[in-house]
Amino acid sequence: MRIEHKVENSSNPIALAIRSNRILPALIFGFILAGVVCSAQQVPSLPTMNSGSGLSPRPPSAGTGVSGSSSSSGRSSSSMPSQVSVGSLTDAPIFPGETVHILVFDAPDFSLVTQVSDGGDVAVPMAGAVHVAGLNSASAEQAIAEKLQSMNLVTDPHVAVTVDTQAMGITVFGEVHNPGIYPPTGKELLSDVLAMAGGLTESSGRVIEISNVSNPNQRVDLPWDPTMHNTANYDTEVHPGDRVIVRPCGIAYVGGNVGRPGAYSLCGSRVTTLSDLLDLAGGVLRFNSNAHTYLIRTREDGTRVVIQVNVDKILKARSADLPIQEDDVVYVTGSALKLVAQEAIGWAVSVSGPLIYVYRP
């Protein structure tokens, strides 16, 4: 009796359903109600409206891994390797100004990335300066290892030295189509570097100058044949920091008793002789002083030398033809006596011409 009384006085909908003999519908209703409550607990909260600026999302909670949180960014930066060049081993000598990577295995305090000084040294931590200029990677590794071992800093050092070839390019300018600074991609030859610069122009000369930023006063002048008949210097090695200057072709000057005095380029052939130059200048005119043609040549020290030649013998192959160099000046002297004699003959012909015509038998 006591239980039935509680059921009758209960306001629970399930109890009411039991009293009204609707047990099965009540159970179904209870299961549906429980499912709705569970679903409501799993629905994420909707973004709140921000006045005048659209939707404002909820801030991420700590530890959710969203980029931008301090904990997540710290983990990602430490786990991802940095994109840093480690250089490459080189058999070529190391030059001042190049960037080298020094790695001492199992001793990170002595590892570093540094630039070779103008004197050719690198500063190794706690070991001081070690001279590496002029050495290749293997010799530089041995020099640094011996320094660390001699100072009792590392018992059995294992050192690796690589050179960052991308840090110092090869400069090409002068008579090329695309002058600029080109990063070396490995062992570079002079012909490869000139090809990267677009090749030579039509005004390119026959001498290419190569120097290095480590010692700009020391230069090498290589003979170069633009016609590609002589390719002896095509395989000359070029190193990072080199400056390649393609000089323009030389110019020689002709004046005096010639058809077209002026400046003439020497690009046409490998060797330009005096007779070739006079032919470019329109040839020698009449009434010249054969033995008084002068070739003025400037030496490397700036002094000038004057060479007197007999142009008539050279043109008639009775004397050796002279090769012309850059900045040569050729002056063909006219003969005043021959000119006066010719003018006198011309005047006599102009005056006596009618007489001869009138009194001809």
Same fold, 170-248 and 251-338: yes
pLDDT tens-digit readout, 1-24? 444 444 444 455 555 545 555 555
pLDDT-based confidence at 268, cuts 50/70/90? low
Mean pLDDT is highest, among 15-19, 31-35, 66-70, 93-97, for 93-97
Q: Are 57 and 75 in contact (CB under 8 A)?
A: no
- Domain residue ranges in the chain: 2-39, 99-164, 170-248, 251-338
Q: With a cut of 50, say whether residue 148 has pLDDT above it.
A: yes
Q: How many Å apart are CA 283 and CA 286, to the nearest integer?
A: 10
Instruction: Say if domain 99-164 classifies as CATH 3.30.1950.10.
Output: yes
Q: What is the DSSP string of 95-148?
A: -TT-EEEEEETT-GGG-EEEE--TTSEEEETTTEEEE-TT--HHHHHHHHHHHH
Q: With a cut of 60, say whether residue 40 has pLDDT above it.
A: no
- pLDDT over 90, % of the chain: 25
Q: How many Å apart are CA 112 and CA 333, to the nearest integer?
A: 71
Q: Are 205 and 135 in contact (CB under 8 A)?
A: no
Of 74 and 39, more confident: 39
Q: pLDDT value at position 351? A: 42
pLDDT tens-digit readout, 72-117? 333 333 333 333 445 677 777 887 878 889 999 989 999 999 988 8
Its CATH architecture, for the domain 170-248, is Roll (3.10)
Q: How many Å apart are CA 277 and CA 296, to the nearest integer?
A: 14
Q: pLDDT value at position 210? A: 92
pLDDT-based confidence at 355, cuts 50/70/90? very low
Q: pLDDT value at position 99? A: 86
Helix (H) or strand (E) holding 333: strand 329-334
Q: With a cut of 80, say whether residue 25 has pLDDT above it.
A: no
Q: With a cut of 90, say whether residue 151 has pLDDT above it.
A: yes
Mean pLDDT for the stretch of residues 320-330: 90
Q: pLDDT value at position 83? A: 36
pLDDT tens-digit readout, 194-214? 999 999 988 888 889 998 876
Q: Is 0.85 topped by the overall pTM? A: no
CATH of domain 251-338: 3.10.560.10
